[in-house]
Amino acid sequence: DTEVTQTPKHLVMGMTNKKSLKCEQHMGHRAMYWYKQKAKKPPELMFVYSYEKLSINESVPSRFSPECPNSSLLNLHLHALQPEDSALYLCASSQAATTYEQYFGPGTRLTVT
Amino acid sequence: QQQVKQSPQSLIVQKGGIPIINCAYENTAFDYFPWYQQFPGKGPALLIAIRPDVSEKKEGRFTISFNKSAKQFSLHIMDSQPGDSATYFCAASMAGNQFYFGTGTSLTVIP
């Protein structure tokens, strides 16, 4: 099973709202990632968690706050977003941060109004 | 600076044709080169990957050709089908920690 699940599938939020994106994997992977993807562009790395600790933060604004409660679960908390933050948010996992095969989830389509 | 350059931006082929997508890189420390296939509204799916110690890898109808001296690699899709219509991203990684993606190629296979 190489499945990464993400909820919700779609999310519309106002600029003053607080919402969270959820990602789950049951492959025993110890590295999890958040990417942001704009239309017709490649994914851009936001955060990397390795063994439940944040190992990479690609200078992401503080209105995005990641959390890794356990090795299977990854959250992305959203607060005071801007319309330009509208994008497809992708979660991925790999066996470890130093292994190569990354498996992506289907993404959450976020619209900020 | 774009770490991985991908071309063409879009490609249209007839069913049964062999589309070829090319990528080039500069950093010789890269040691893993995957290709991802992405359908609209879906996440990228790992298609095939190669390491620089081999020059070619085949998986079903998909083949990666790798030229280490030229720092180029390409994806060939044999006997292409309309269901192969998608966006394809090449990528490069060193030590698996961060992937540098190409800009993507939108492939359309006409029945």
Q: Which amino acid is at B46?
A: L
Task: Give the pLDDT confidence of A58-88 residue by residue, as tens digits.
Answer: 889 999 999 999 989 999 999 999 999 999 9
CA distance A66 to chain B (A): 18
Residue A21: what pLDDT?
Answer: 98
Rg (CA), chain A: 13
Residue A2: what pLDDT?
Answer: 63
Which residues touch A2 (CB under 8 Å, ≥6 apart)? A27, A103
Look over chain B and give the mean of its residue pLDDT values, rounded to a whole number: 94
Q: With contact defined as beta carbons under 8 Å apart, do A74 and A91 qualify?
A: yes
- Model confidence at B98, pLDDT cuts 50, 70, 90, reads confident
Distance separating alpha carbons of residues A83 and A19, to the nearest angstrom: 15
Q: What's the whole-number mean pLDDT along residues B38-44?
A: 92
Look over chain A and give the mean of its residue pLDDT values, rounded to a whole number: 93
Q: Is the pLDDT of residue A89 over 60?
A: yes
CA distance B63 to chain A (A): 18
Are A103 and B46 in contact (CB < 8 Å)?
Answer: yes
Q: B62 touching A, CB under 8 A?
A: no
- Model confidence at A1, pLDDT cuts 50, 70, 90, reads low
B-contacting residues in A 63-82 (Cβ below 8 Å): none
* Torsion (CA) A94, B32, B100, A10 in degrees, nearest 10: -30
Other Cβ atoms closer than 10 A to B55:
12
